[in-house]
Structure 1
Amino acid sequence: MVRLFGMPYRKWSPRVQLQGNLVWDRLAEMTDLYGPRISGSEALEKSIDWVVHMAGKVDGLEVRTQEVNVTYFKRGAESLTLLSETRGAVPLTMIGLGMATPGNVTAQVVMAHSFEEFEAMDKETIKGKIVCINPPWSDYFGFARYRLLGAKVAADKGAVGFLIRSATPFSLNTVHTGSSVPAGIPAAAITPEHADMLDRMSRRTSLNSSSPFAHLFTAPVVRLEMASELFPRVSRNVIIDLPGADPDPKVAQEIVLVSGHIDSWDVGQGAVDDGAGSFVAWDVIRVLSQLEQRPRRTVRAVLYTNEENGLAGAYAYRQALDDKALQNHIFAIESDTGVFKPWGLSFQSASTDQRTIAKQTAYLTRMGEHVKRRMPDGYHGGHVTTGFTGADIEPLCQDGVPCAGWLSLDAIKKDEFGLNGYFYYHHTHADTVSALNATDIAASI
């Protein structure tokens, strides 16, 4: 990211550290000390205290926090059990969706294989049953929409529970959590393997099977048990500023914002999503502060809270800006799709004029060529595309700030652009610092 600011390399101070394990080591230390950081938790607030101390006392940066009202989702005991006539009680791998309604229900499972099929199902088919959506993987955003809203649609049709296949292109019986709107019925994600098993069992009951054991084929019945509580809490955004050095105060007060989110789900370590993104934003400020020639404009890192289950941090930051402060934000960048080998940016212009957008994109593309020439050996970042940039900066984008999302190469295929590999780890117990490479993180800064 530092390379995006176009600083002349002859002005680099020998004290500047772009390579090495500094960011990875810091992220490992914080996540090992405090673990996952769901909004409102003690772990998140202790992690924020750790960042404030390290950025302020160790790095000597200008750091402050901004209070944000959030809802703390405290997960309790939960389980999903297949009640099989041939196998007895079979535990299935599941995780309750955040903010979902707690409850204990036992019912037959009715399957849907696409979101369109689910919406078209009549109430008589669903009433009194647990709906399980088991679509093939295509992209994350379709899954995320129905993970968020599916329980509400199911409840409106008379369902007593809701299950959804985990949002991932690959699984080793790994379950992925996420948010659901409270809908009056319990809602959970299950592994792709167990969603497929329930699907096979359901299909067999509708076939004229020639199997000599067809009399044992019965529609799947499961017991879903979920306990959770919601509490109002106060969390904090972390704001780290490097004041602009331009002699014209109007220019110096203009802000280039880099960001990630400091909260995570309550599984894994929250290192991929989004510890690395927020730590890279912080380290951009640290590195720029060591330049002999400082940036003309203010560069600000924001480590947002509550991205995962409310976006309260993003809205609190935007609402605290008056018109002048908003106008001073001239560019906002977010990193929230993993920090692997750097690829480039997804750009969203503040203009609707196609010629203006083309001109801005061409300018960023030229800057990208500048970046490519200065990447470490083996790295080929600097690409520019257009599209969605990030959930936390979206309130700024909607109010006229040009925005960009930081993009990496695929986490698994390594040398191909794509997000599928990121979703191997997303919202799982596998989201740890072991999924990240220290050199990739350093190259991204």
Structure 2
Amino acid sequence: HTLTDVYGARLTGSPAYTAAAEWARGRFEDWGLSDPRLEPFEFGRGWTLEKLAVEMVSPRYMPLIATADAWTPSVDGVVQGPVLYVGDKSAPEIAGMTSELRGAIVLTHQPQTEFRDSDRPQPGLGDGPVRTGNPPRIPTNSATPAQEMRALLQEAGAAVAMRPTYYRDGTVGGTGSRTTPDAAVPSIVLAAEQYNMLVRLAQRGIAAELRVELRTTYDDDLLTYNVLADLPGTDPQVSDEVVLVGAHLDSWHTASGATDNGDGSLAVMEAARILSALDARPRRTIRFALWSGEEQGLLGARAYIEDHLSGEAAQDKLQVYLNDDPGSGRSLGFYMEENPGAKAIFDAWLEPLRDLNVTMNVEAGIGSTDHVPFVRMGLPAFNIIKDFEAYDERTRHTNADYPERMTEDELTQQAIFLAHFAWQAAQMDGRIPRVPGS
């Protein structure tokens, strides 16, 4: 629980992320890994949420469940006043409301009626195709497009913009854009049920009065860091070849980043500890990586490729990349990225793990995580298959992403699985087959 409870949310570029990365580097060092290090790359300024309090004070008192968009600026002091609902108004109508918008707490969207109620299908179950990317997008609706709405509110000098989440039961999702300008209107996401209540009151002619306090800070250090550590190869013929095992350490800011992707990071770290504790001496080098910037576009993995895999000769030294990301439960196998030669090898490696319920590799690939840039270059890179129970519906990018959603047994199983596959890839006589990139 150190990663999730002590360090908590690890937004890319934030001091909290850097502290967690330093902690992880220190653990690799404690376990005797070779050359544990932080590798920097330029990201942009960090951001920290210092305080957020949203309360309804009229027609009665109620604390509201909310999060702020990452990189949103602070509210000037404490703002208190009636809400102004514009979710059903067109851009020309909003443009004519300048005096009403100035200093207002604005509800920008219509009531939320569609919700993320289910997880993506489990791989290998049922007759349908395996999902290969993010879950289906759930719309939040406004009569004015979001970009135009932001510009109109900024021009008018609105105090706060609020919209509903698309999760149920008090679960609030939060992301954000690192390119948010300093002059943007501060942006807050509310629990859907409470947002809908505010709109219903407004539609009855009752403008609920809110009190909002939002303090954020920016960190002008433009660097963020991948964490790397090695178990050096011992066979002179292949010791310069690398088996790469990784997961993204960064998270969004809404909770503690437990299932996205604390569990993956911890499994990679534990796999490293297991192999080091066994005094394993692999033929090839096994490199453990914790990436930054995954949530902003797989940036850490891309930076590693640029720094370490530039050119055909360097790429030829990568034996395989094993990635641990989406999902919140036990490991089942790997998505094989339509690589039948690699699948045959991986299927054989599954056999000793069947008593751990590691039972299948699937032909399909999966997108939106750190192995994808490797795959696009034609490099052998595969993402772990995990259960999605309550992941898309409840924890991913939300204020419910805490360690209660994972178990020690599942993390142990993941770590053993990764350590076994990393060892097999490091020891095999041949190379992992490759297929052309996209």
Same fold (TM over 0.5): yes
- Corresponding residue number in structure 1 for 2:174: 177
- Corresponding residue number in structure 2 for 1:193: 193
1:370-385 alignment, distance < 5 Å: 370-375=348-353, 377=355, 379-385=357-363
Structure 1 spans left out of the alignment, 5+ residues:
1-27, 113-120, 206-215, 349-356, 413-418
Contact 2:242 2:285 (8 Å CA) reproduced = yes
In structure 2, C-alpha distance between the alignment counterparts of 1:228 and 1:132, rounded to whole Å: 24
In structure 1, C-alpha distance between the alignment counterparts of 2:368 and 2:281, rounded to whole Å: 27
Aligned to 2:170, the other structure's residue is in SS state coil
Structure 2 spans left out of the alignment, 5+ residues:
96-100, 121-133, 416-438
Contact 1:389 1:404 (8 Å CA) reproduced = no
- Corresponding residue number in structure 2 for 1:336: 325
In structure 2, C-alpha distance between the alignment counterparts of 1:152 and 1:397, rounded to whole Å: 33
Residues 77-131 of structure 1: CA deviation (Å, up to 9, x unaligned): 33444575xx24544211101012434676422347xxxxxxxx73135444531
Moved more, 433-442 or 291-300: 291-300
In structure 1, C-alpha distance between the alignment counterparts of 2:84 and 2:230, rounded to whole Å: 55
1:182 to 1:42, Cα distance in 2 relative to 1, 3 A? closer
Contact 2:332 2:385 (8 Å CA) reproduced = yes
Q: CA deviation at 1:268?
A: 3.4
Aligned to 1:236, the other structure's residue is in SS state strand
- Corresponding residue number in structure 2 for 1:444: 414
Q: CA deviation at 1:221?
A: 7.0
- Corresponding residue number in structure 2 for 1:416: none
- Corresponding residue number in structure 2 for 1:273: 260
1:223 to 1:303, Cα distance in 2 relative to 1, 3 A? same
Matched, 1:232 2:220: yes
Matched, 1:93 2:57: no
Q: Say which of 380, 383, 398 aligns to 1:402.
A: 380
In structure 2, C-alpha distance between the alignment counterparts of 1:222 and 1:141, rounded to whole Å: 33
Aligned to 2:19, the other structure's residue is in SS state helix
- Corresponding residue number in structure 1 for 2:404: 434
1:346 to 1:144, Cα distance in 2 relative to 1, 3 A? farther
Contact 1:239 1:301 (8 Å CA) reproduced = yes
1:210-225 alignment, distance < 5 Å: 216-218=204-206, 225=213
Q: CA deviation at 1:303?
A: 0.5
1:348-359 alignment, distance < 5 Å: 348=337, 357=338
Moved more, 289-298 or 122-131: 289-298
Matched, 1:74 2:62: no
Q: Say which of 127, 132, 141 aligns to 2:109.
A: 132
- Corresponding residue number in structure 1 for 2:290: 303
- Corresponding residue number in structure 2 for 1:15: none
1:162 to 1:382, Cα distance in 2 relative to 1, 3 A? farther
Q: CA deviation at 1:302?
A: 1.0
Residues 396-428 of structure 1: CA deviation (Å, up to 9, x unaligned): 34433333222211334xxxxxx43xx412334
Contact 1:73 1:228 (8 Å CA) reproduced = yes
Aligned to 1:383, the other structure's residue is in SS state coil
Q: CA deviation at 1:65?
A: 1.9
- Identity across aligned pairs (percent)? 23
In structure 1, C-alpha distance between the alignment counterparts of 2:90 and 2:399, rounded to whole Å: 36
In structure 2, C-alpha distance between the alignment counterparts of 1:345 and 1:51, rounded to whole Å: 25
- Corresponding residue number in structure 2 for 1:154: 149
Q: CA deviation at 1:437?
A: 1.0
RMSD: 3.6
Q: CA deviation at 1:154?
A: 2.5
Aligned to 2:109, the other structure's residue is in SS state strand
In structure 1, C-alpha distance between the alignment counterparts of 2:233 and 2:356, rounded to whole Å: 33
In structure 1, C-alpha distance between the alignment counterparts of 2:394 and 2:404, rounded to whole Å: 13
Contact 2:31 2:273 (8 Å CA) reproduced = no
Matched, 1:63 2:36: yes
> Which amino acid letter does the alignment assign opposite residue 38 of structure 1?
L
In structure 1, C-alpha distance between the alignment counterparts of 2:236 and 2:69, rounded to whole Å: 51
1:281-292 alignment, distance < 5 Å: 281-289=268-276
Matched, 1:110 2:86: yes
Contact 2:9 2:253 (8 Å CA) reproduced = yes
Q: TM-score, normalised by structure 2?
A: 0.71
In structure 1, C-alpha distance between the alignment counterparts of 2:373 and 2:138, rounded to whole Å: 20
1:3-22 alignment, distance < 5 Å: none
- Corresponding residue number in structure 2 for 1:8: none
Matched, 1:53 2:53: no
Aligned to 2:70, the other structure's residue is in SS state coil
1:326 to 1:201, Cα distance in 2 relative to 1, 3 A? farther
Residues 286-306 of structure 1: CA deviation (Å, up to 9, x unaligned): 444566885443322211123
Residues 242-273 of structure 1: CA deviation (Å, up to 9, x unaligned): 33444424xx3333322112233344333322
In structure 2, C-alpha distance between the alignment counterparts of 1:401 and 1:34, rounded to whole Å: 34
Contact 2:333 2:350 (8 Å CA) reproduced = no
- Corresponding residue number in structure 2 for 1:21: none
Contact 1:260 1:304 (8 Å CA) reproduced = yes
In structure 1, C-alpha distance between the alignment counterparts of 2:264 and 2:344, rounded to whole Å: 24
